[in-house]
Amino acid sequence: MCHRRNIVVGTVLVSVLAIVSGNSWSAPLTDNTVFLTFTKHIARQVSLDKEAFARASTCLSWFYKATPKTPPPPVQGISWNRPASSQAEQDCLRQYPGGMEAARDDFAKTQALLSVSLTVYEFALVADHNDDQSYSPAELQDLFHSLSLAYDAADPPLSPIATLTARFDRWYRTRNLDEVMQGMSALYERGYRVTAQDRAELDRVMR
């Protein structure tokens, strides 16, 4: 089990190194590397989840409109642009040959995945206590402690990045937010809060 975990973290480490360094492997890592890389990793998934949820919602609405039933109410706080009806008809029939039931199942799935990515994004923002878009050693210590993870300030930035992104990928894959909610509670006990800046950023990614 330990060997397998090391392989996973090692794989993520290589991927993260490529993201952080780009084409310049010698570029120095800045103090905000952990925060920016972790939040961008989550934000990319939020964007994909929003698109998938919008497609499922649009098609579910179209299938409802094709019957005498009333379409479901929109989800508060999440907006999207609906395509023209003719295009929606073509897309939805192609994407959901199983009809309304298939669209309803995908709607529930994509909504759950979007909830996971948004919740973890909020958690990552809250962990930046002073909203400077950077995790200080103390903030990283609190973040890792909230997740019952060991943290050594002497470790290079790539180590916590690999750990955090791998942990997000696991939460997302299993759709399990238990650790996140426990971590959020632990941060709140240490005085962390969702700030006005956090809310503004959450509103931005939800639009």
Residue 28 resides in a domain = no
Asked whether residue 16 is domain-assigned, the answer is no
Evaluate whether 134 touches 128 at the Cβ level (below 8 Å): yes
Structural domain contains residue 87: yes
Q: Identify the pLDDT of residue 78.
A: 59
Domain membership flag for residue 140: yes
The pTM for the full model equals: 0.77
* Domain annotation covers residue 2: no
Reading the chain (207 residues) residue by residue, the pLDDT tens digits are 444 444 444 444 334 444 444 433 333 444 689 999 999 999 999 999 999 999 999 999 999 888 764 555 665 555 555 544 567 788 899 999 999 999 999 999 999 999 999 999 999 999 999 999 999 999 999 999 999 999 998 888 889 999 999 999 999 999 999 999 999 999 999 999 999 999 999 999 998
Report pLDDT for 12.
41
Cβ density class 6-44: b for 16+ within 10 Å, e for less: eeeeeebbeebeeebeeeeeeeeeeebbbbbbbbebbbe
End-to-end alpha-carbon separation of the chain, Å?
41
In a domain, 27, yes or no: no
pLDDT of residue 11: 42
Which long-range CB contacts under 8 A does 125-130 form with residues at least 24 apart? 125/39, 125/194, 125/198, 125/201, 125/202, 126/184, 126/187, 126/192, 126/193, 126/194, 126/198, 127/187, 127/192, 128/35, 129/191, 129/192
Domain limits for position 169: 36-206
φ, ψ of residue 80 in degrees (nearest 5) = -160, 165
Domains in the chain, number: 1
DSSP one-letter string for 3-25: HHHHHHHHHHHHHHHHHHHTT-T
Residue 162 lies in a domain: yes
pLDDT of residue 89: 82
